[in-house]
Every structure is written in structure tokens, then in C-alpha cells.
Amino acid sequence: MNHELLSFDQPIPLSQVSTLVSVLPCRVAAGFPSPADDHAVQRVDLMAQLIKHPQATFLLRVRGESMKDAGIFDNDVVLVDRAITARSGHIVIAMVDGEFVCKTLWQRCGRMKLKAANVTFPDINPADGQTVEIWGVVVASIKQFKA
């Protein structure tokens, strides 16, 4: 199968990840920061900011470029909420013949397909007898830059 695969054999439950980070309560300018901003650090819980259903939210690392036009690139980590009912237009994690894929769900008139967000990748049009399960809805993508 030539689809974008996710790198973990098993999704990582969010409950196993620390979610507290330090945040400055200001906007980031493209110039120089104010020296006063150094004294205004507060702690923000990412769970409260990004996640509606902590017990049903998982982390998965994306492998491949099939979703690049949706802003999801190779090696990004996606937050996947299994408690959200997937609707047409949602970016989802699906199990296709036992393999995880990340695609945009398209549904019309009782038909479904999983659309790539890169014209060089084919959409997945489930064939008769093919097993497709919508596993969860992608609610955020995390990028890590080289430091």
C-alpha cells in the first residue's frame, strides 16, 4: 500500500505525556521583545488549551508527505481525539486494511473516500471487502524544528 503510514505501532495515550509549559502572556513580534516580558512567565496546561477529551486523545507521529497541503508534514506529531464523531472535511486517522493512514474524510450520499492533501498521492476509495475504520479525528499538529 502506498499511503502515508504513521510511525508508532501503537498510539501513545496523552495521559503518558507531560502537558505543562511556560508561556509569556503576550504576542510574539518579529522584532525585539520587551525586557519586561521576562518577568511575566506563567504556566499553561496544554490539556486545557488543545484537548477536549483527555482520556480519548492520543499522539501519533506522521510519516510521509501526503498531507503537506493541509500543513501536516513528515515527522509531525498529531493529536488524535477518538471521542469526536468524524464528519466530512475532518482530517482523520483511519485504519485501512490494518494500517494507520492520515487523510481528509470525504462523505457524500452514503459514499466515503479518504483524500490526500498532496496531488502526487492518490485518494483512498474503499473497494468492496476492504476494511476501513475511522480511528479518530486529528485536532492538532505539532512541529518540531531543529534547535
Catalytic positions are: 66, 103
- Are 143 and 110 in contact, with CB atoms under 8 Å apart? no
Task: Name residue 105's beta-bridge partners.
Answer: 114
Ranges assigned E (strand) in the chain:
12-13, 20-23, 42-45, 57-61, 77-81, 91-96, 99-108, 111-115, 132-142
Backbone angles phi, psi at 116, to 5 degrees: -75, 155
At 107, which helix (H) or strand (E)? strand 99-108
